[in-house]
Amino acid sequence: MSDRLQELSRRRQALVARATEEREALRVQGRALAAPGRMADRVLAAASVLKSHPLVLAGAAAALPLLVLRPRGITRWAGRAWMAWRALRALRDGLRPRAPG
């Protein structure tokens, strides 16, 4: 092999070794960033849900004073809301026309 080809071969091997080391360093750094990345994904998903359901945010804002001032009051109101929701669903299902069968 000519000197030029041997030099190119050595240079290529050095570059391949360097690329392998850099890949490993990136893998280690990526692992360190995985947990914050997952947390950011969760925050963005929650923001998306709140953006598409603004009544959830309004309900949470309305319930916050009850939670702070009277923690037992929130459970009472939550129970009442649950019963009202179930009653409305039962009423809606009862008014729905039945398929002949």
- List CB contacts of 50: < 8 A, sequence separation 6 or more: 56, 57
Task: Please check whether residues 40 and 76 belong to one and the same domain.
Answer: no
Checking if the pLDDT of 76 tops 90, the result is no
Task: Please check whether residues 47 and 68 belong to one and the same domain.
Answer: no
**What domain range includes position 25?**
1-52
Task: Please check whether residues 63 and 95 belong to one and the same domain.
Answer: yes
Give pTM, 2 decimals.
0.41
Q: Which amino acid is at 45?
A: A
Secondary structure of residue 96 in the 3-state scheme: coil
How far is 70 from 73, CA to CA, in rounded Å? 5
Which tens digits make up the pLDDT trace of 23-73? Answer: 999 999 888 888 899 999 999 998 898 888 888 888 888 878 877 777 777
Element (H, E) at 100: none
On whether the CB atoms of residues 58 and 47 are closer than 8 A, the answer is: no
- pLDDT category at 87 given cuts 50, 70, 90 is very high
